Structure 1
Amino acid sequence: MRKWITRSIFFYFLYGLLVYWYLFFFSGSGVPAPYEGTSADPSTFMSGRELLLSQEYSTIKNFLYFVTIPFEWFLLFICLITGFSRKMQQWSEATSKFFSLQSAIYFFWLSLFVTVVSFPVNWISYQISKSYQITTQTFSAWMKDEIIDFWVNYLLMTIIVIVLYWLIRRFEKRWWLYAWLLSIPFSFFLMFVQPVIIDPLYNDFYPLKNKELEEKILALADEANIPANHVYEVNMSEKTNALNAYVTGIGANSRIVLWDTTLNRLDEDEILFIMAHEMGHYVMKHIYIGIVGYLLLSLVGLYAINVLMRFIIKRAGSLLKISSIKELTAFPLFLMLLGVLIFASSPISNAVARYQEKSADMYAIEMTNNHEAAISSFQELSRAGLSQVNPPALVKIFRYTHPTMLERIVYLEKHKESAK
C-alpha cells in the first residue's frame, strides 16, 4: 500500500511539474503576426495592465484546472487503497439493514471526505478569482453556494447510487445497459426542472427590467420562430464581473437568461447580437443534438466502466480492498473511471461544441448584420473575464467549448469583408 501511495504521489507531482512547465514556460499565447494590430489583437482593446492581468489570471486558472482534475482521482484512489472505502461500507451496514439507506449513508461519508479534502483547493481558486476582481462574492456568500452545491449534488447522486447498485445487484452482466436506459428520462427531467428548481437556489431570476430591450429581444425570437414570452435577468453582479447569457431548459420551462453584468457592460446592439447567438442554438437544435451526443457517449462510457471495473477488480481487487463490483466499496473506482473517461473524451465533445458555437455566431451575424457590435461584444467579454484571446493549444483542446476569441473575431472580420 505504501509503495503504491508513494508512486501515485510521485507521478502526480511529476505531472504537476510538466503542466507548470507547459503553461508558464513552453506555450505562448501571443497573437500571430498576421493579426497584430487588428481587432483580434488584445493590445487594441485592452490596456497594458489588463493584458498583463489576463495573461497571469488565465495561466494560473488553467494550471489549477489541469492539476485539480487528477487530484480527485487521487483522492478516490487513496480512499480505496487505504481501506477507507471499506470502512465506510461497514459503517453504513452497521447503521441500517436496508441497502438503499446503506447506500445513502455510504455516499454521504464519501462526499464529505472528498469535499473536506478538496476544500483548500477550491478556496485557493476562489481567492485567486477574488484577487483579480473576477469574483465579487463575499466569503460567506461563496460558502453558502458551496454548501448548496454539496447538498444538491449529494441528493441527486444518492438517487443515482441507489438505482445504480440496485441494477448491478439485480442485473450483474447488463446493469450498464439498463443504467443507460434509465439515464435518458432522468437527463430530460433534470433539464426540465433545472431552470425552475435548481438554478433559483443560487441566484434570483426575474423578468428583464428594461422592457424596451425585452421587446426587441422577443422580436428577434419571433423572427426565429422561438416561443418565448419573457426574457429573464439574473443578479450575477453579486458574484462576478464576468459576462454571460444563455438559453436553458426544455419545453415549457425553456428560458432566455441575461446576466445583469452583461446588461450593465454591453450596449443594446451588442446584447442583441449575444441574444441572436443564443437563439441560433435553439433554431439549429443544438440542445437536442448535445443530448443525443451525451447519451451516445454515456452508453459507450458505462460499457467501458463495466469492463474496466471487472478487469481491475480481478487484477488488483486485494490491493484496492474490493472483492466484487456489487459492493459499495467499489463506488470510488466507478467515479474514478468515470472522471478519467470524461476527461479523455473532452477533446471530442469540446470540438463538437466549438463547431456549434461558430454556427451560432454565423447565425447571429446573419440575423443582426452588425459586425461592429459582434466584434466589440467579444472584445468586452475578453476584457471583463480577463480571458486569453489566443490560449495554448492544450488549453483550447481540453477546456474550450467555444472557439477562441481570436478565432471568433477573425472569422467575423472575414465575413464582414465578404459581405461588402
Structure 2
Amino acid sequence: MRKWLTTSIAVYFLYGLVVYWYLFIFSGSGVPAPYEGTAADPATFMTGREQLLSQEYSTLKNFLYFVTVPFEWFLLFVFLLTGLSRKMQEWSQATSKRSFFQSAIFFFWLSLFITLLSLPVEWIGYQISKTYHITTQSFHAWIKDQLIDFWVNYFLMALIVFVVLSLIRKFEKRWWLYAWLLSIPFSMFLMFVQPVVIDPLYNDFYPLKNKELETKILEIADRADIPAEHVYEVNMSEKTNALNAYVTGIGSNSRIVLWDTTLNKLEDEEILFIMAHEMGHYVMKHIYVGIAGYLLLSLFGLLFIHLLMEKLIQRFGPLLKINSMKELTMFPLFLLLLGVLTFASSPITNTVSRYQEKSADMYAIEMTNDHEAAIHSFQELAKTGLSQVNPPLLVKIFRYSHPTMLERIHYLEEYGEKQFDEE
C-alpha cells in the first residue's frame, strides 16, 4: 500500500510540474503575426494592463483546472487503497439492512470525504477569481452555493449508485446496457426539470425587464420560426462580472437566458447578435444532437468501464480491498474510471461543440447582418472575462467548447470583408 501510495503521489507531482512548464514556460502569449493589428488582436481593444491580467488570470485558471481534475481521481484511489471504502461499506451495512439506505449512507461519506478534501482547491479558484475581479460573490454566498452543489449532487448520485448496484447484482454481465437504457429517460427528465427546479436554487430568473429589447428579440425569433414567448434574464451581477447567455432545457421548458451583466455592458445590437446565436442552436437542433452524442458516448463508456472494472478487480482486487463488482466498495473505482473516461473524451465532445458554436455564430450574423456588433460583443466578452484570445493548444483541446476568440473574431471579420466586396 505504501509503495502504491508513494508512487501515485510522485506521479501526480511530476504531472503538476509538466503542466506548470507547459502553461507558464513553454506556451507563448499573444497572437500570431498575421493577426496583429486586426480586430482579433487584444492590443486593439484591451489596455496593456488588461492584456497582462488576462494572461495571468487565464494561465492560473488553466493550471488549476489541469491539476484539479486528477486530484479527485487521486482521492478516490486513496479511499480504496487505505481501506476506507471497505470500512464505510461495513459501517453502512451494519447501520441498515436495506440496500437503498446502505447505498445512501456509503455515498454520503464518500461525497463528504471528497468534498472536504477538495474544498481548499475550490477555495483557491474562488480567491483567484476574486483577486482578478471576475467573481463578485461574497464568501458566505459562495459557501451557500457549495452546499447546494453538495446536496444536489449527493441526492442525484445516491440514486444512481443504488440503481447501478442493483443492476450489477441482478445482471452482472449486462448491467451496463440496462444502466444505459435507464439513463435515456433519466437524462431527458433532468434536462426538462433543470430550468424550473435546479437552476432557481442558485439564482433568480425572471422575464426580461427591457420590453423594448424583448420585442426586438422576439421579432428575430419569429423570423426564425421559433415559438418563443419570453426571454429570461438571471441575476448574475451579485456573483460575477463576466458576460454570458445560453439555452437550457428541452420541450416546453426550454429557455433562452441572458445574464444581467450582459444586459448592463452590451448595446442592444450586440445583445441581438448573441440572442440570434442562441436561436441558431435551437433552429439547428444542437441540443438534441448533443443528447444523441452524449448517449452514444455513454453507451461505449459504460461498456468500457464494465470491462476495465472486471480486469482491475481480478488483478488488483486485494490491493484495492474489492472482492467483486457487486460490492458497494467498488464505487470509488467506478467513479474514478468514469472521471478518467470523461476527461479523455473531452477533445471529441469539445470539437463537436466548437463546430456547433461556429454554425450558430454564422447563423446569427446572417440573421442580424451586423458584423461590427458581433465582433465588438466578442471583444467585450474577452475583455470582461479576462479570457485568452489565443490559448495554448492543449487548453483549447481539453477546455474550449467554443472556438477561441481569435477564431471567432477572425471569421466574422472575413464575413464583413466578403460582404463589403459584394457591395
Taking structure 1 as the reference length, what is the TM-score of the superposition?
Answer: 1.00
Secondary structure at 1:256 match in 2? strand
Q: Which residue of 2 aligns with 1:308?
A: 308
Q: Which residue of 2 aligns with 1:386?
A: 386
Secondary structure at 1:22 match in 2? helix
Q: Which residue of 2 aligns with 1:168?
A: 168
* 1:24 partnered with 2:27: no
Which whole-Å CA distance do the structure 1 matches of 2:385 and 2:361 have between them?
19
* 1:406 partner amino acid: L
Q: Which residue of 1 aligns with 2:11?
A: 11
Q: Which residue of 2 aligns with 1:255?
A: 255
TM-fit CA distance, 1:415: 1.0
Q: Which residue of 2 aligns with 1:245?
A: 245
Map 1:63-82 onto structure 2 (within 5 A): 63-82=63-82
Which whole-Å CA distance do the structure 1 matches of 2:219 and 2:150 have between them?
40
TM-fit CA distance, 1:416: 1.1
TM-fit CA distance, 1:206: 0.6
Map 1:100-249 onto structure 2 (within 5 A): 100-249=100-249
Secondary structure at 2:237 match in 1? helix
TM-fit CA distance, 1:29: 2.7
Which whole-Å CA distance do the structure 2 matches of 1:64 and 1:36 have between them?
29
TM-fit CA distance, 1:91: 1.0
User: In the TM superposition, what whole-angstrom CA distance separates every residue of 1:367-400 from its partner, at most 9, and x where no partner exists?
Assistant: 0000000000000000010000000000000000
Secondary structure at 1:173 match in 2? coil
TM-fit CA distance, 1:417: 1.2
* 1:378 partner amino acid: F
Secondary structure at 1:236 match in 2? coil
Which whole-Å CA distance do the structure 1 matches of 2:169 and 2:362 have between them?
50
Secondary structure at 1:238 match in 2? coil
* 1:49 partner amino acid: R
Which whole-Å CA distance do the structure 1 matches of 2:36 and 2:8 have between them?
44
Deviates more, 1:226-235 or 1:15-24: 226-235
User: In the TM superposition, what whole-angstrom CA distance separates every residue of 1:294-336 from its partner, at most 9, and x where no partner exists?
Assistant: 0000000000000000000000000000000010000000000
Q: What is the RMSD computed on CA atoms of the aligned residues?
A: 0.5
* 1:318 partnered with 2:349: no
User: In the TM superposition, what whole-angstrom CA distance separates every residue of 1:337-394 from its partner, at most 9, and x where no partner exists?
Assistant: 0000011110010000000000000000000000000000000000010000000000
Secondary structure at 2:227 match in 1? coil
Q: Which residue of 1 aligns with 2:89?
A: 89
Which whole-Å CA distance do the structure 2 matches of 1:369 and 1:29 have between them?
32
Which whole-Å CA distance do the structure 1 matches of 2:146 and 2:362 have between them?
37
Q: Which residue of 2 aligns with 1:339?
A: 339
Which whole-Å CA distance do the structure 1 matches of 2:218 and 2:326 have between them?
52
Q: 5+ unaligned residues in a row in structure 1: which ranges?
A: none
Which whole-Å CA distance do the structure 2 matches of 1:178 and 1:220 have between them?
43
TM-fit CA distance, 1:81: 0.4
User: In the TM superposition, what whole-angstrom CA distance separates every residue of 1:103-142 from its partner, at most 9, and x where no partner exists?
Assistant: 0000000000000000100000000000000000000000
Which whole-Å CA distance do the structure 2 matches of 1:117 and 1:34 have between them?
46
TM-fit CA distance, 1:247: 1.1
Which whole-Å CA distance do the structure 2 matches of 1:227 and 1:302 have between them?
37
Which whole-Å CA distance do the structure 2 matches of 1:402 and 1:257 have between them?
18
Q: How many residues in Structure 1 have an aligned counterpart in Structure 2?
A: 420
Which whole-Å CA distance do the structure 2 matches of 1:411 and 1:233 have between them?
29
Q: Which residue of 1 aligns with 2:283?
A: 283
Secondary structure at 1:374 match in 2? helix
Which whole-Å CA distance do the structure 1 matches of 2:116 and 2:304 have between them?
30
Which whole-Å CA distance do the structure 1 matches of 2:166 and 2:228 have between them?
41
Secondary structure at 1:402 match in 2? coil
Which whole-Å CA distance do the structure 2 matches of 1:191 and 1:222 have between them?
25
Q: Which residue of 1 aligns with 2:44?
A: 44
Fraction of identical pairs, as percent: 78
Q: 5+ unaligned residues in a row in structure 2: which ranges?
A: none
* 1:158 partner amino acid: A
Deviates more, 1:215-224 or 1:379-388: 215-224
User: In the TM superposition, what whole-angstrom CA distance separates every residue of 1:69-105 from its partner, at most 9, and x where no partner exists?
Assistant: 0000000000000000001101100110001110000
Q: Which residue of 1 aligns with 2:348?
A: 348
User: In the TM superposition, what whole-angstrom CA distance separates every residue of 1:258-298 from its partner, at most 9, and x where no partner exists?
Assistant: 00000000000000000000000000000000000000000
Secondary structure at 1:326 match in 2? coil
Which whole-Å CA distance do the structure 2 matches of 1:374 and 1:403 have between them?
14
Which whole-Å CA distance do the structure 2 matches of 1:207 and 1:360 have between them?
23
Deviates more, 1:29-38 or 1:302-311: 29-38
